[in-house]
Amino acid sequence: MRRGALMFGAWALWVGAWALVLLIWGEAAVPLIAFGGTAAAGTLVAGYLAARPPRTDPPRTLSDTSAAPPLIGAGIVLAANGLAFGLWLILIGAEVAAFGGGLLIAELRRAR
């Protein structure tokens, strides 16, 4: 099985489990519909990725994994939470995002 299909399938299974928890113990319909729809969409994407013919792309010059995108995302989330918790968290989030951006630039330069 392809890595992308496996990741989408695992994510859809995780969100589907939360939808099941909401079905059993939740009272609101909107989160249940949102989680259930997201799990169904993730399952469809995983099925598509598993069934499509393999691509014949040239070999990748970058590695399959990178720490830069999660660091940038975590920095943005920390900075956004800083709007509620104070300037100190905004500054920490900006530092984490800047570190992720620098790491991304370094990876892209190394790929040349």
Domain boundaries, the chain: 3-51, 68-111
DSSP secondary structure code for residue 90 in this structure: H
Question: Band of the pLDDT at 42, cuts 50, 70, 90?
Answer: very high
Q: What is the pTM of this model?
A: 0.52
Q: Is the pLDDT of residue 64 over 80?
A: no
Model pLDDT for residues 18-32, shown as the tens digit of each residue: 999 988 988 888 888
What region, left, alpha or beta, does residue 21 occupy, with left being phi > 0 and alpha being psi -120 to 50 degrees? alpha
d(CA 111, CA 64): 13
| pLDDT number for residue 103 | 93
Q: Is the pLDDT of residue 107 over 80?
A: yes
